[in-house]
């Protein structure tokens, strides 16, 4: 009888662990849709990116890249919201979270037409380029290997605009503790009912 009860408790423990598993979030990137246009929000750096990583469709000198970002008006979001070139920290955060996962420098295959992340059907940034200007003079970011570099301001590199757009509203997650407690209570209730049925029989 004790062995049987131990087996039941083991099964309950397993279900409790499974119930808590979905609450481990792998990435901090969130899809946004503003006025019909797609953006990606990075909750680590509180940065909103255009989902099209080459929206400008051309290369710039550093000065021209800054001017383009500062004067950008896109999807109803204008310069008052703060379009600008990203800094190296923001680019590193985005690079690190995009699949394939890994620390900067550990992978070299992120350069390409599409880099996907997450589990959603449209979770991706498109048209990723090899080099991007940062908002610091003579500083670029290599998106193939994930590191900051230095380059003459006269070089022609891509520009990826970011903005200070508030975080998208997401459903409030139910704390894992409630799921653990609820799963345990359901398991113990099931054992109690089975014992009562057995005694009645």
Question: Does a structural domain hold residue 124?
Answer: yes
Both 115 and 182 in a single domain? no
Return the pLDDT at 119: 46
Return the pLDDT at 196: 56
- The DSSP code sequence of 159-198 is ---EE-PPPPP-PPPPPHHHHHHHHHHHHHHHHHHHHHHH
Return the pLDDT at 59: 97
Both 149 and 51 in a single domain? yes
Both 125 and 194 in a single domain? no
Return the pLDDT at 124: 67
Considering Cα of 164, then 94, then 159, then 148, what sign does the dihedral take? positive
Return the pLDDT at 89: 95
Both 82 and 116 in a single domain? yes
Number of domain units in the chain: 2
Both 129 and 148 in a single domain? yes
**Does residue 159 contact residue 133 with C-beta atoms inside 8 Å?**
yes
Both 181 and 120 in a single domain? no
Name the residue with tokens 């920290």: 89
Q: The tokens of 119 are what?
A: 């589990």
Q: What three-state secondary structure class fits 67?
A: helix
Question: Does a structural domain hold residue 77?
Answer: yes
By residue count, the chain amounts to 201
Question: Does a structural domain hold residue 169?
Answer: no
Instruction: Give the CB-side neighbour count of residue 103, counting CA atoms within 13 A.
Output: 0
Q: The tokens of 62 are what?
A: 């550093």
Range of the domain at 124: 29-163
Both 139 and 108 in a single domain? yes
Task: Going residue by residue through the chain, which has 201 residues, state the pLDDT in tens, using 9 for 90 and above.
Answer: 554 554 555 555 444 444 444 433 345 888 888 888 888 899 999 999 988 899 999 999 999 999 999 888 887 776 556 789 999 999 999 988 886 655 666 666 666 656 665 444 445 688 888 999 999 999 999 988 889 999 999 999 999 999 877 666 544 444 444 444 455 555 555 555 555 555 665
Both 67 and 158 in a single domain? yes
């Amino acid at each position: 009888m004790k062995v049987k009860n131990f087996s039941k408790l083991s099964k309950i423990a397993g279900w409790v662990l499974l119930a808590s598993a979905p609450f481990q979030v792998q990435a901090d990137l969130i899809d946004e849709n503003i006025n019909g246009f797609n953006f990606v929000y990075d909750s680590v750096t509180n940065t909103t990116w255009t989902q099209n990583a080459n929206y400008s469709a051309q290369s710039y000198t550093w000065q021209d890249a800054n001017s383009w970002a500062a004067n950008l008006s896109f999807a109803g979001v204008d310069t008052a919201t703060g379009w600008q070139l990203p800094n190296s920290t923001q680019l590193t955060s985005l690079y690190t979270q995009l699949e394939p996962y890994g620390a900067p420098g550990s992978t070299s295959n992120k350069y390409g037409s599409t880099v996907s992340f997450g589990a959603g059907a449209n979770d991706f940034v498109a048209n990723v380029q090899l080099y991007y200007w940062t908002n610091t003079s003579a500083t670029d970011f290599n998106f193939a290997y994930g590191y900051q570099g230095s380059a003459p301001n006269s070089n022609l590199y891509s520009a990826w605009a970011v903005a200070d757009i508030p975080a998208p509203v997401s459903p409030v997650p139910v704390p894992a503790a409630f799921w653990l407690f609820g799963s345990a209570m359901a398991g113990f209730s099931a054992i109690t009912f089975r014992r009562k049925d057995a005694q009645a029989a």
